[in-house]
Amino acid sequence: VLLNLNLKQNMFGANGVAAAVMGMGKTPLKTLDLTRTEMGGATDSMIESLSSAICHQLGLLMDLRMDDNELSCKESAIAPLCKLRSLRTLSLEKNRLTAIPPLLGTMLSL
């Protein structure tokens, strides 16, 4: 059973990462590292689709790292991640985000 997946430093882009997540199906993955996966040029809708795919397919995720991707999306694009009730770590370092969804502050697991 796959529990940890490191896709760090692969040039997938948001659509490629979303395709990989959807291709896994529902899985008990605990850790997903998407650091430096070239998502900087992604539109808000692409990031929202990725966030939704992560939420629907990887509901037991505990550690999600999306560092150093030059993300500059609206807070609503990453809002679906607030539905991950098992999430303990959400790392968004070195991006260009100007705000995060207020619901992140209500997630007791973070």
Q: What are the pLDDT digits (tens) for 13-62?
A: 999 999 999 999 999 999 999 999 999 999 999 999 999 999 999 999 99
| CB proximity list for 102: less than 8 A, separation 6 or greater | 75
Give the pLDDT confidence score for residue 31 in this predicted structure.
98
Asked if 3 and 32 count as a contact pair (C-beta separation under 8 A), the reply is no
Number of neighbours of residue 3 by Cβ within 10 angstroms: 11
pTM, full prediction: 0.93
Angle at which helices 44-57 and 13-24 cross, to 10°? 20
Start-to-end C-alpha separation, the chain:
25
* Phi, psi at 93, each rounded to 5°: -60, 155
Residue 8 CA, distance from chain mean position: 12
Distance CA 68, CA 97 (A): 11
